[in-house]
Chain A
């Protein structure tokens, strides 16, 4: 998967221009979308606690991969949203949006056979084709994400987008 910084910048780049249209979409809510983009990265819990350890303790086959799938993002967004005191539906939808952007970005990376992983699980086992745009350690991906984010930040911070209206 792409690095976490790229993941969280993607919803920032998408939601900030949307906030110019929707008054309710303030920075308070954009940060929720950015946090949602980190959900699929929770699959890295496997670095700390290997899936084979879970398998041996519970005596069941087990994989962390669903965390980085639509099903995992749905469940984890719900599990986080439930702790908010109000507007849980909005929180859930923004977390879900962020998580889905991460899955889509990851679905564009290089796979040697031209098909991405089972990221649409559990809804289908279909592996969507990937244009193989980048490899996970490609620093150019992060540079592009930072450059676009900087432009969006400048447009937003100084109200430059209003000049185009």
Chain B
């Protein structure tokens, strides 16, 4: 048995355990440090959020230019829900399928009056662009890395070429 490999793997597993532990701690505590209600809370008990300032990310389903509103779909741990955003400012170059950030006041179960709207993805195709460019980068980094470094799967080690 290669004790060096076992030792390296053990330390790596411990460190990954640290990341997992942070994942649990983060999810348990982030809500108390975040100035806005969690979107799951907004979905589950909207009546308690009326008049509250919210910060949500949502995918545009429909834009009504005449009324200056948009309907957005918000993802939560309890599944998605839709709200209407008023004072949306439809001159923003965003289409259905795009993603926006909205800071505003939760008015009722299905309405947010926007204070600020920022476009994250102008259209659904923006995600395809991001994933395609990221894939190119991942391939590039692997190709260049293996030119200088040798990965030995048997001994679980990385050494100079």
Chain A positions 46 through 68: 1 when the CB is less than 8 Å from some CB of chain B, otherwise 0 = 00000110110000111111110
Chain A positions 109 through 146: 1 when the CB is less than 8 Å from some CB of chain B, otherwise 0 = 01111000010011001000000100111010010000
Q: Max chain A CB contacts within 10 Å: which of B26, B133, B141, B148?
A: B26
Once bound together, how far apart are the Cα atoms of A110 and B120, in whole Å? 8
Q: Are B134 and A63 in contact (CB under 8 A)?
A: no
Q: At the interface, yes or no: A24 with Cβ under 8 Å from chain B?
A: no
Q: At the interface, yes or no: B129 with Cβ under 8 Å from chain A?
A: yes
Q: Are B148 and A52 in contact (CB under 8 A)?
A: no
Once bound together, how far apart are the Cα atoms of A83 and B127, in whole Å? 33
Q: At the interface, yes or no: A71 with Cβ under 8 Å from chain B?
A: yes
Interface hit among B8-16, B43-51, B64-72: B8-16
Interface residues of A in 77-134 (CB under 8 A from B): 78-80, 82-86, 110-113, 118, 121-122, 125, 132
Q: What's the nearest-Cβ distance from chain B to residue A36, in Å? A: 10
Q: At the interface, yes or no: A156 with Cβ under 8 Å from chain B?
A: no
Q: Which residues of B contact A112 (CB under 8 A)?
A: 55, 101-103, 116-118
Q: Are A83 and B22 in contact (CB under 8 A)?
A: no
Q: What's the nearest-Cβ distance from chain B to residue A43, in Å? A: 10
Q: Are A85 and B157 in contact (CB under 8 A)?
A: yes
Assuming the contacts A65-B26, A82-B8, A111-B101, asked whether A8 and B159 have C-beta atoms less than 8 A apart, the reply is no
Identify B148's interface contact among A31, A72, A122, A142, CB under 8 A: A31
Contact-residue size bin, chain A (C-beta under 8 Å from the other chain): 35 or more
Once bound together, how far apart are the Cα atoms of A80 and B156, in whole Å? 11
Q: What's the nearest-Cβ distance from chain A to residue B138, in Å? A: 6
Identify B141's interface contact among A31, A51, A79, A132, CB under 8 A: A31
Identify A86's interface contact among B140, B156, B159, CB under 8 A: B159
Q: What's the nearest-Cβ distance from chain A to residue B130, in Å? A: 5
Once bound together, how far apart are the Cα atoms of A71 and B17, in whole Å? 12
Q: Are A82 and B159 in contact (CB under 8 A)?
A: no
Some 15 contacts from A to B, beta carbons below 8 A apart, are A4-B134, A28-B160, A41-B134, A55-B77, A61-B24, A64-B23, A66-B19, A69-B22, A75-B22, A78-B15, A112-B118, A113-B35, A113-B55, A113-B116, A118-B33
Residues of A participating in the B interface, judged by any CB pair closer than 8 Å: 3-5, 7-8, 27-28, 31, 34-35, 38, 41, 51-52, 54-55, 60-67, 69, 71-72, 75-76, 78-80, 82-86, 110-113, 118, 121-122, 125, 132, 135-137, 139, 142
- Which 5 residue pairs spanning A and B have beta carbons closest together? A137-B126, A4-B134, A125-B33, A5-B137, A66-B22
